Amino acid sequence: MNEILVTGATGNVGRQVVVELLATGTAVRALVRDPETAGLPGGVKVVGGDLSEPETLEEALKGTSTVFLVWPFLTTKGAPAVLETIARHAHRIVYLSSSGVDEDAERQTDPINQLHADMERLIEKSGLEWTVLRATTIASNARGWVEQIRTTHVVRGPDMAATAVVHERDIADVAVRVLTGDGYVGTKFVLTGPQVLSRAQQVHTIGEAIGRLVSFEKVPVQVAREQMLADGRPTALVEALLASVERRPASNLVTSTVEEITGAPARTFRAWAQEHAEEFR
């Protein structure tokens, strides 16, 4: 039986894609670096492999027809070899990209959107049947605030342009329909939540969900840089994240794509905060 291979299977989106594929009765494989610590549900075939080492993907790809690709790196180095390896086994790929990609721009506003634009171009030239899911800010990113909310009830960090934050389950719902259905080849979908929210509004919403007053305190970029580096984050990652803060334009974009594909309206950030309230208490 041809199976679907999910990369990033232990991440917030990939794990949800695995769970929902299993719920549909689809044969699914989860690509992870360490199968022993993956903690994925029974019924999924957990296979070892590393996208930074394309030769490790050969065994994982045998018998697969379709790949859900989450690219975890800040550059496309190694991506051509990975796509070539995928194309030797599968015929279809679904890629998780960013809604910030501007196809009409010669260069994107920041390194992260540039990465996704470059990956999209490589995928289009790969010979694989492809679909791109361009997501806005993913709700689960707010988990990065857990410690601050628990200990100080204040989230301190650089501000970023407001976006229509999308629930990771909505991304997974769309991904599962695209991975298992027909009629989506050669299409780029923009996935958003139903409401444009600033970071301050997200933080306030989490506070309401946990029954505490929680606030957002904007920190200058240079101060944020020093703190992130002191926390041990890689310099390249810090600079990419802060470039997004400084350069990414505001967006009032709200799409109906989630509902059009899944038949259900996109979940709100409030719903996400209520689902995950215990994590922040």
Boundaries of every domain in the chain: 3-137+166-192+252-267
Give, for all 281 residues of the chain, the pLDDT tens digit: 579 999 999 999 999 999 999 999 999 999 999 998 998 998 899 999 999 999 999 999 999 999 999 999 999 999 999 999 999 999 999 999 999 999 888 899 889 999 999 999 999 999 999 999 999 999 999 999 999 999 999 999 999 889 999 999 999 999 999 999 999 999 999 999 999 999 999 999 999 999 999 999 999 989 888 888 998 989 998 888 888 888 888 889 999 999 999 999 999 999 999 999 999 99
Max distance between CA atoms of the chain, in angstroms, equals: 54
pLDDT for 124? 97
> What residues have CB less than 8 Å from 144, skipping those under 6 apart?
none
pLDDT for 242? 86
pLDDT for 75? 94
Distance CA 154, CA 217 (A): 7
pLDDT for 2? 76
Alpha helices in 24-95 (DSSP H): 58-61, 79-87
pLDDT for 221? 86
pLDDT for 231? 86
Cα-flanking dihedrals φ and ψ of residue 245, to 5°? -65, -45
Task: Describe the strand order of the beta sheet including 64-69 as a list of residue ranges.
Answer: 45-48, 28-32, 3-6, 64-69, 92-98, 129-135, 187-191
Pair 254, 191: CB distance under 8 Å = no
pTM of the model: 0.94
pLDDT for 162? 93
Distance CA 232, CA 266 (A): 36
pLDDT for 281? 95
Nearest 5 degrees, angle CA 51-CA 175-CA 40?
60
pLDDT for 251? 85
CATH number of 3-137+166-192+252-267, picked from 3.40.50.720, 1.10.357.10, 3.30.2010.10, 3.10.129.10:
3.40.50.720
Distance of CA 218 to the CA centre of its chain: 24
